[in-house]
Amino acid sequence: MIVMINPPYLNTKLTNYITFKQAPYPNPAIALFAGFFHDKGIPYLCIDAKLDDLVYGDIITKIQDNTDSADITFIGITISTSTAAHDDFGFVAFIKNEFPNIPIVVGGPHVTALPNDSLKTCRGVDIVVRYNGLLPLLDIYDYFTSQNKIKCLSDIPGIVFRGDKNEAVANAICQRTADYIGNLTRPRWEDFSQASTYFVFSALGCPHRCSYCFNETNFLYGKKPVDMIIDELNLLINKFKMTNFTFSDPTFAVDKPHARKVLQRMIDEGISDKVKWDCWTRVTVPDKEFCYLMKKAGCKLISLGVESGSNKVLRRANKGITTDQIAQGVRIVREGGIHSEFFLVFGHIGETEEDIRKTIDMVVKLNPHVVKVGIMTPWPGTEAYKLALNKKEGLELTTTTDYSKFDKYFGESLIHKNIDLDELEMLRISMYLQLYLKNNRYLELIHFAWKMRYGILRKSFSLIKKTCFKS
């Protein structure tokens, strides 16, 4: 049996704005793996501690209630960068202590980028799966059960494992793209508790290579068959009473003909009458006809990766878009009767205060329904991380071990030569104030101030302290 675990929230205050204790949706990656193992006839157990609000003892009880430890082939655990150091690796060590003879396999963007460091950091880790783990996990199961041809861990592409002398042994990257796409299966949502919302993939992976985004985990792009997507939506609606979901492709409708088929089937089969949804995509994707189809299929909001209002910054970030395209995309979405959401980042590579003020001016002018602003966080594996690690282009890391500082809202992992972190934060607050005041959105301003009160107060006191007591 394979046991797959999404670790619990331990440090529940993930940002200074928002406190998390329980995830509103099941982990989509584990659900996908469950579907894959189910179709292969491999026994498995899914434990989503974030969804079910489980603590350490609850997880052990659930494992013991559902299987004998002697039947467990390996335990797979997903690792997040922002919770790696103080939460996830500590959880791995706990699980290893409870099941010392069972191999622990970890995956996720963090360990993909830093496999050797992960093995060194946490003695409980036996194997790191890099990038997409679908096929490597099947090979690992084969190796430990001796069912077929895998005789040695060195024969498994896409993993880094602990050798006989405790050294990290890295195998070649798994490049079996055709096999990966052919093995895509419907996620097994039946193995999870009912949730308030769901992440549904119409495709996996992203063809774009933005400098701040850990896209290397998505280097294998694969479309899910239309029939599989429709079956999945019908299951979630009929069995789990789903009323809203997110098409969680990194960039929805990269393949527009495929997306059109999905949307048309949703309309034809009445799915659009039962559920509302949103998606993430690029500003260049929506056109008048496509927006009309999305609206008819039940789309209520399109989240756009805008990132900046400066063409200079957009070019350096490898976004492949311009401010004119942003304005056109927002206009098309609005005319299509769909709400728009902006994702922005302050503190890009080479960005200045002047660039950020251009972004603020653009946001105020375009007046999107929702805006989310993150502070540049150099996620391991990104170009920004590599530059900061080597102190290039005005960037420098504050830490390579304390990943609690890798927080995209109030991150303190990066020193930016051009802009102080406090300045970035004040510019962010200024953007929200201008957006709501200049567009007469006073009720939203009150809501923003209440929701963000702890973060704003914390930052204000910090600035006062620095101003009054600096030497």
Name residue 265's amino acid. Answer: R
Question: How far apart are alpha carbons 253 and 319 in whole angstroms?
Answer: 17
Q: Apex CA 208: angle with CA 207 and CA 214, to 5°?
A: 105
Give residue 65's pLDDT. 95
Structural domains of the chain, ranges and CATH numbers in brackets: 2-179 (3.40.50.2300), 197-439 (3.20.20.70)
**What pLDDT is stored for residue 13 in this prediction?**
46
Nearest CA to 97 out of 66, 122, 65, 71 is that of 122
pLDDT for the residue 160 = 94
User: What angle in degrees, to the nearest 10, is found between the helix axes of 56-66 and 89-98?
Assistant: 40
- For position 447, what pLDDT does the model report? 85
Confidence class of residue 213 from pLDDT cuts 50, 70 and 90?
confident
- Does residue 232 surpass a pLDDT of 60? yes
CA atoms within 13 A on the CB side of 149: 2
Instruction: Compare 337 and 411 and report the one with higher pLDDT.
Output: 337
The secondary structure of 172-209 as a DSSP string is: PPP--HHHHHHT-----GGGS---S-EEE-SEE--S--
Among 31-40, 68-77, 458-467, the minimum mean pLDDT is found in: 458-467
Lowest mean pLDDT among 10-14, 113-117, 435-439, 448-452: 10-14
Q: According to DSSP H, which parts of 183-287 are helical?
A: 226-240, 256-268
Arithmetic mean of pLDDT, 222-243: 92
| pLDDT-derived band at 440, boundaries 50, 70, 90 | very high
pLDDT tens sequence across 45-100: 999 999 999 999 999 999 999 999 999 999 999 988 777 656 888 899 999 999 99
First to last CA, the chain: 61
More confident residue, 121 or 68: 68
pLDDT of residue 178: 59
In order of 251, 272, 291, 333, the CA distances from 244 in angstroms are: 19, 10, 18, 20
Of 147 and 46, more confident: 46
Q: Which position has the higher pLDDT, 214 or 423? A: 423
Instruction: Give, for 46, the enclosing helix (H) or strand (E).
Output: strand 44-48
What average pLDDT score do residues 367-396 get? 91
Provide the H-helix boundaries in 369-441. 383-389, 421-438
Whole-number average pLDDT of the chain: 87
CA distances (Å), origin 341, targets 59, 171, 312, 321, 344: 37, 41, 22, 17, 10
C-alpha dist (Å) from residue 75 to 69, 71, 107, 206 = 10, 11, 11, 28
Closest CA to 355 of 416, 440, 444: 416
Is residue 217 very low, low, confident or very high in pLDDT (cuts 50, 70, 90)? very low
Token code pair at residue 88: 């996830």
Neighbours of 288 (CB within 10 A): 10
CA atoms within 13 A on the CB side of 141: 22
Distance, in Å, from the CA atom of 347 to the CA atom of 354, rounded to the nearest integer, reads 11
Say what the pLDDT of residue 196 is: 87
